Amino acid sequence: MKTEPLFDDAEHTEHSPAERAAAASRSTWVSVAVNLCLTFGQVAAGIVSGSQGLVADGIHSLSDLVADFVVLFASHHARKGADEAHPYGHQRFETAASLALGVILAAVGIGMLWAALRKLADPGSVERVHMAALWIAIGALIAKELLFRYMLAVAKLVKSSMLVANAWHARSDAASSLVVGVGIVGNLAGFPILDPIAALIVGLLVLKMGWSFGVDALHDLMDRSADEQEVNAIRQTLLATPGVIGVHDLRTRKMGDMIVADVHIEVDAAISVEAGHDIAVAARQHVLTRHRVLNVMTHVDPRRRGVSEAAAAV
What is each CA distance from 279 to 57, 238, 268, in whole angstroms?
58, 10, 10
The dihedral formed by the CA atoms of 142, 162, 56 and 131, expressed in degrees to the nearest 10: 0
pLDDT of residue 145: 86
pLDDT by residue (tens digit) across 163-178?
Answer: 777 777 677 777 778 8
Does position 279 have pLDDT exceeding 50, yes or no?
yes
Q: Cα angle at 177 between 171 and 180, to 5 degrees?
A: 145
**41-45 long-range contacts, CB within 8 A, separation 24+:** 41/136, 41/139, 41/140, 42/136, 42/140, 45/132, 45/133, 45/136
Q: What is the mean pLDDT of residues 31-37?
A: 85
Judging by beta carbons within 10 Å of its beta carbon (0-12, 13-18, 19+), is residue 156 exposed, middle or buried? Answer: middle
φ and ψ of 159, to 5 deg: 55, 60
Predicted pLDDT of residue 2:
40
Tell which residue, 37, 46, 166, has the closest CA to residue 112: 46
For residues 112 and 62, the answer to whether their CB atoms sit within 8 Å is no
Mean pLDDT taken over the chain: 79
Q: Which residue has the higher pLDDT, 5 or 207?
A: 207
In whole angstroms, what is the distance from residue 160 CA to residue 301 CA? Answer: 35
The answer to whether the pTM exceeds 0.75 is no
Q: What are the strands of the beta sheet with 258-268, ordered from one edge?
A: 246-255, 258-268, 293-303
Residue 34 pairs in a beta bridge with: none
| pLDDT at res. 83 | 64
Structure confidence by residue, pLDDT tens digits, 99-115 = 887 887 788 788 878 87
216/283: higher pLDDT: 283
Q: What is the pLDDT of residue 242?
A: 93
Helices (H), the chain: 17-49, 52-78, 92-121, 132-158, 161-188, 194-221, 228-239, 273-290, 309-313
pLDDT at 122: 75
- Higher-confidence position of 13 and 153: 153
pLDDT of 133 above 60: yes
pLDDT at 225 over 60: yes
Q: Which of 289, 275, 5 is nearest to 159 (CA)?
A: 5
3-state DSSP call for residue 247? strand
| Domains of the chain, earliest start first | 17-221 (1.20.1510.10), 228-313 (3.30.70.1350)
Which pLDDT belongs to residue 161? 67
Q: State the Cα–Cα distance between residues 211 and 49, nearest whole angstrom.
A: 32
Using the predicted structure, report yes or no on whether residue 307 has a pLDDT greater than 60. Answer: no
> By percentage, how much of the chain surpasses pLDDT 70?
80
